[in-house]
Structure 1
Amino acid sequence: MADTRPNVLFVLTDQERYDCHVPESSVDKEPEPPVETEAMDRLSRQGARFEHAVTPISICSSARASLLTGQFPHSHGMINNCHEDDAILANLPPGIPTFSEALADAGYDLTYTGKWHVGRDATPEEYGFSYLGGSDRHHDDIDEAFREYRRERGTPLEEVDFEDEIYTGDDPRDSSEGTFVAAKSPIDVEDTRAWFLAERTIEALEAHVEGATASSVEDGSTEGGKRGDGGPFFHRTDFYGPHHPYVVPEPYASMYDPDEIEPPDSYAETFDGKPQVHENYLAYRGVEGFDWKLWAEALAKYWGFVTLIDEQFGRILAALEDLELAEETVAVHASDHGDFVGGHRQFNKGPLMYDDTYRIPLQVRWPGVTEPGSVRREPVHLHDLAPTFLEIGNVDVPDSFDARSLVPLLEGDDAPADWPESTFSQYHGDEFGLYSQRMVRTERYKYVYNGPDVDELYDLEVDPPELRNLIDHPEYANVRRTMRERLIAWMDEADDPNRGWVPEILRRAD
């Protein structure tokens, strides 16, 4: 009997803000963003868009480990980035069930290209995937495929002279210190890693149609025998961007005019009533001296990076159509977390649980199942995709997952009666040491527990940029109490190790 389970194409962007591509039909009050994202917008029109999706944590390795395991970070243990010297874990602990291994065991042919960042030693190969290349040396050093591709094209990675460079530190044009923020690259679009990853993805799709094995894609050939199980495929493409450095070639480098970019409302941040670490982070990240003119220049490159990736995503979706795979393939786009890019005057991410970094884009097109153009307002997590992929593949969800399948929502049904009215996120620290945070977010309110400092409460309806901390406002006493009880309930449900002492502190605070 033929296996009729759908294929899955999963595209994960790296540090993409949720507000880069809100379609005109959005029911939110947000203005239409000026970023050109034709492919992502088309996916929303043809499928479902989740308006209130959040990451469980705004750290790359942690979020990606949650996505793989369906668990909150405190459960899988990778609570900060695995490549840093102070990493709590260099690799995921052995024995934790993953959605990918379950799909592979159930007959799916899994391929992977691009960023990994879920282990220094363990690679996608250990989790059911065949890795098809595209890694970089900073976060992963799995293969030489992209570097060899560039050498063959005559544009070695090490020999590119950037223009219009921006660095953190006292002198934003001084490349000898600070973090590389943005630049224009003189290379062709075909020399970018984004182009290369799209190309490898298209090759993987072609190989599926031609009946080739995953290993034949790996060695550059699409010849070979058919897969022995005849099962469907799951392909994952992880773009290295729009994570900094925001380095793009023309036409993307000058696609957005910095002089025409207005500061976001959150740029008016004063840090009044906020945890001290928020203001400290300006100096820690080296952007204390950045003015809006410099941020606008960086943001223009970031937007250009988003459009570059979107166009490569468009090439992938076009290949699905050309190969007559679109109707039998579930296409999913999400991001591991967001990016400040000047929001709240900040750079990158950190112990600041604003929507800039915790709210993410999430779109799913499932032909014949998901109503085109549907908008789901239920609160969902990034790692809810793990059980979703398993249910799509008719595979049992492990008991270890701290997540819910999105399939009922994708099928257009009302949310199950027990669907949570909030999301739960956490932070444990990254490069500068451990720092305990927990967040509960509803459509209207956000409450942040800061272990070492003042807590935060925001009314997202009247204060979308999250500028005014209402934690001590007398008119919000009932809201604060309710949100704290929501947080306590989440900590209990998720077996948060801090539930032994934090709930009592919160109840005494009221």
Structure 2
Amino acid sequence: MADADTRPNVLFVLTDQERYDCTAPDGPPVETPAMDRLSSEGTRFSRACTPISICTSARASLMTGRFPHGHGMLNNSHEADAIRPNLPPGIPTFSERLADSGYECSYTGKWHVGRGKTPEDFGFSYLGGSDKHHDDIDDAFREYREERGVPLGEVDLEEELYTGDDPRDGSEGTFVAAKTPVDVKETRAWFLAERTIDAIEAHADGDGNSDDGAPFFHRADFYGPHHPYVVPEPYASMYDPDAIEPPESYAETYDGKPQVQANYLAYRGADGLDWECWAEATAKYWGFVTLIDDQLERILEALEEYGLAGETAVVHASDHGDFIGNHRQFNKGPLMYDDTYRIPLQVRWPGVTEPGSVCDAPVHLHDLAATFLEMGDVGIPESFDSRSLVPLLEAGDDPKTVPEGWPDSTFAQYHGDEFGLYTQRMVRTDRYKYVYNGPDIDELYDLEADPAELQNLIDHPEYADVRREMRERLIEWMEETDDPNRGWVPDVLRNAS
């Protein structure tokens, strides 16, 4: 008889546009007991960031372990101006490698990594839950709602909020938030959790082992808390808008900032929203986060019920964040603030992670691609830009055991969305952030003195050495990762220093 496969199962929960501070100890009062449980029973990463703050690009990076300029999906695949509608053939993905190594890979929920290809083209079995706007892969959720007598599109929403001159006028602007009268069990979040629980049950038998001895990798991608923030009771009224104070960055004036930031405010229609509107939207957003957290709790309970908790690594992250009124902005865009670039990341891996540990090493979302492969004892392709987080997970929160040579910076980029192409590059250390804006003024922030990133110090004479050092860091990264702009941007930056 062949030796039993002792590699861990992996449950990966990816939320859509969840802010990092919702689960941070010093963050707002958002109820997230399940995510907090992962932190208390595992490792929380305090300096995790996305390589790009747009859905398709970030998710493609997660799949391929590459920065966006390495896989080429630079903007959203569902838009008419998508640079690439699907991942180019021949690029290795972590899921295909895991499937080839014997993992049973399954997937529920949002995909958004291509128009013509689905998770099933990358080693997963797809269990349903897509929405019409982003993917429209299947009819599972639509049929589920019809069976429950509440067909999609036939519900009268309440407390609707839109961008534009009149926040209550749905004839113009973008849909921001609302309360839905449906039962919690009729939400997509509940449905995706239910399908994930079905997958866990299918992988388990009475003894808590996979039917054929193979480990599983299940990915649950929630459609939220991405806008529109539409939630039922009790989540719709869980947080009182009158008790929510404006963030420090709400004082944003855009003085000394790239012109595109003020342009984007008007383009999104967010210039017509006052703080009363943003407080209402924030309350719904927080309710959405708690709704998803409650579904995660159901999933964690299922792992315990089927005897799989002790042999399953659970990972929670988000593709990127959300402004919800911070810097007076809506959604995301060509603004490289922490609101959309920092992400939550918690890992509970029984027997490996130290309960309650906090890792302050800087990491990227797409480092998870290499991490999943090392968890599964699978070789990491040379094409990956990502580094496995396993050494950090094994180190707990002892900074002395962080691998020698681990970077002290994170990097990111942006290439535009429906607003038009707009090239950006960013390097962030623990204290400083530098943003290269190709067509406009660059940005430099002292995050220790100005955590809200309100004052652009790019021309401040006392920060000349910092500016020069940050530009050199960016140049080095561009060379290491074969950034296509490395042919001319380095000279521009050195001449500007």
Instruction: Report the TM-score range of the alignment, normalised by the length of the smaller protein.
Output: over 0.9
What amino acid sits opposite 2:298 in the alignment? Answer: R
Does 2:16 align with 1:21? no
Q: Tell me which stretches of 4 or more aligned residues in structure 1 moved more than 3 Å.
A: 226-229
Are the counterparts in 1 of residues 203 and 211 from structure 2 also a CA contact under 8 Å? no
What amino acid sits opposite 1:194 in the alignment? Answer: A
Find the counterpart in structure 2 of residue 354 from structure 1: 337
Are the counterparts in 2 of residues 61 and 117 from structure 1 also a CA contact under 8 Å? yes
Find the counterpart in structure 2 of residue 385 from structure 1: 368
Does 2:42 align with 1:12? no
Moved more, 233-242 or 321-330: 321-330
Find the counterpart in structure 2 of residue 479 from structure 1: 466
Where does structure 1 lack aligned partners over 5 or more consecutive residues? 24-30, 212-225
String of CA shifts for 1:205-236, please: whole Å, max 9, x gaps: 0011139xxxxxxxxxxxxxx98963100000
String of CA shifts for 1:103-154, please: whole Å, max 9, x gaps: 0000000000000000111000000000000000000110000000000000
Find the counterpart in structure 2 of residue 26 from structure 1: none
Find the counterpart in structure 1 of residue 183 from structure 2: 188
The CA deviation at 1:499 is 0.6
Find the counterpart in structure 1 of residue 478 from structure 2: 491
The alignment partner of 2:177 has SS state of: strand
The alignment partner of 1:41 has SS state of: helix
Counterpart-to-counterpart distance in 2, 1:303 and 1:287: 19
Which of 69, 77, 81 is the equivalent residue of 2:64?
69
The alignment partner of 2:465 has SS state of: helix
String of CA shifts for 1:363-406, please: whole Å, max 9, x gaps: 00000011000000011000000000000000000011011000
Which of 424, 429, 439 is the equivalent residue of 2:416?
429
The CA deviation at 1:418 is 1.3
What amino acid sits opposite 1:3 in the alignment? Answer: D
Which of 211, 223, 226 is the equivalent residue of 1:240?
223
RMSD of aligned residue pairs (Cα, Å): 1.1
The CA deviation at 1:32 is 3.8
What amino acid sits opposite 1:401 in the alignment? Answer: F
Counterpart-to-counterpart distance in 2, 1:33 and 1:339: 14
**Cα distance change of structure 1 residues 254 and 227 upon mapping to structure 2, 3 Å threshold:** closer
Does 2:245 align with 1:255? no
Does 2:496 align with 1:501? no
What amino acid sits opposite 1:72 in the alignment? Answer: F
Are the counterparts in 1 of residues 10 and 216 from structure 2 also a CA contact under 8 Å? yes
What amino acid sits opposite 1:364 in the alignment? Answer: V
Are the counterparts in 1 of residues 52 and 412 from structure 2 also a CA contact under 8 Å? yes
Find the counterpart in structure 1 of residue 247 from structure 2: 264
String of CA shifts for 1:53-84, please: whole Å, max 9, x gaps: 00000010000000000000001000000000
Which of 309, 318, 333 is the equivalent residue of 2:292?
309
TM-score by length of 2: 0.97
Counterparts of residues 131-170 of structure 1 (less than 5 Å): 131-170=126-165
Counterpart-to-counterpart distance in 1, 2:496 and 2:155: 56
The alignment partner of 1:158 has SS state of: coil
String of CA shifts for 1:176-206, please: whole Å, max 9, x gaps: 1111100000000000000000000000000
Find the counterpart in structure 2 of residue 447 from structure 1: 434
Counterparts of residues 18-417 of structure 1 (less than 5 Å): 18-23=20-25, 31-210=26-205, 230-412=213-395, 414-417=401-404
Q: Percent identity?
A: 78
What amino acid sits opposite 2:256 in the alignment? Answer: G
Moved more, 74-83 or 172-181: 172-181
String of CA shifts for 1:224-280, please: whole Å, max 9, x gaps: xx9896310000000000000000000000000000000001001010110000111
Counterpart-to-counterpart distance in 2, 1:480 and 1:412: 33
Find the counterpart in structure 2 of residue 459 from structure 1: 446
Counterpart-to-counterpart distance in 2, 1:448 and 1:506: 11
The alignment partner of 1:67 has SS state of: helix
Counterpart-to-counterpart distance in 1, 2:129 and 2:27: 33
What amino acid sits opposite 1:489 in the alignment? Answer: E
The CA deviation at 1:22 is 1.3
**Cα distance change of structure 1 residues 32 and 170 upon mapping to structure 2, 3 Å threshold:** closer
Counterpart-to-counterpart distance in 2, 1:340 and 1:277: 16
Are the counterparts in 1 of residues 323 and 339 from structure 2 also a CA contact under 8 Å? yes
Are the counterparts in 1 of residues 370 and 387 from structure 2 also a CA contact under 8 Å? yes
Where does structure 2 lack aligned partners over 5 or more consecutive residues? none
The alignment partner of 2:246 has SS state of: coil
Are the counterparts in 1 of residues 205 and 306 from structure 2 also a CA contact under 8 Å? no
Counterpart-to-counterpart distance in 1, 2:424 and 2:76: 16
Are the counterparts in 1 of residues 426 and 474 from structure 2 also a CA contact under 8 Å? yes
Are the counterparts in 2 of residues 428 and 437 from structure 1 also a CA contact under 8 Å? yes
Counterpart-to-counterpart distance in 1, 2:83 and 2:205: 43
Counterpart-to-counterpart distance in 2, 1:490 and 1:228: 45
Are the counterparts in 2 of residues 107 and 229 from structure 1 also a CA contact under 8 Å? no
Are the counterparts in 1 of residues 204 and 211 from structure 2 also a CA contact under 8 Å? no
Moved more, 321-330 or 408-417: 408-417
Are the counterparts in 1 of residues 239 and 286 from structure 2 also a CA contact under 8 Å? yes
What amino acid sits opposite 2:38 in the alignment? Answer: L
Are the counterparts in 1 of residues 205 and 211 from structure 2 also a CA contact under 8 Å? no
The CA deviation at 1:323 is 1.0
Counterpart-to-counterpart distance in 1, 2:475 and 2:301: 46
**Cα distance change of structure 1 residues 357 and 32 upon mapping to structure 2, 3 Å threshold:** closer
The alignment partner of 1:353 has SS state of: coil
TM-score by length of 1: 0.95
The CA deviation at 1:433 is 1.2
**Cα distance change of structure 1 residues 375 and 157 upon mapping to structure 2, 3 Å threshold:** same
Find the counterpart in structure 2 of residue 221 from structure 1: none
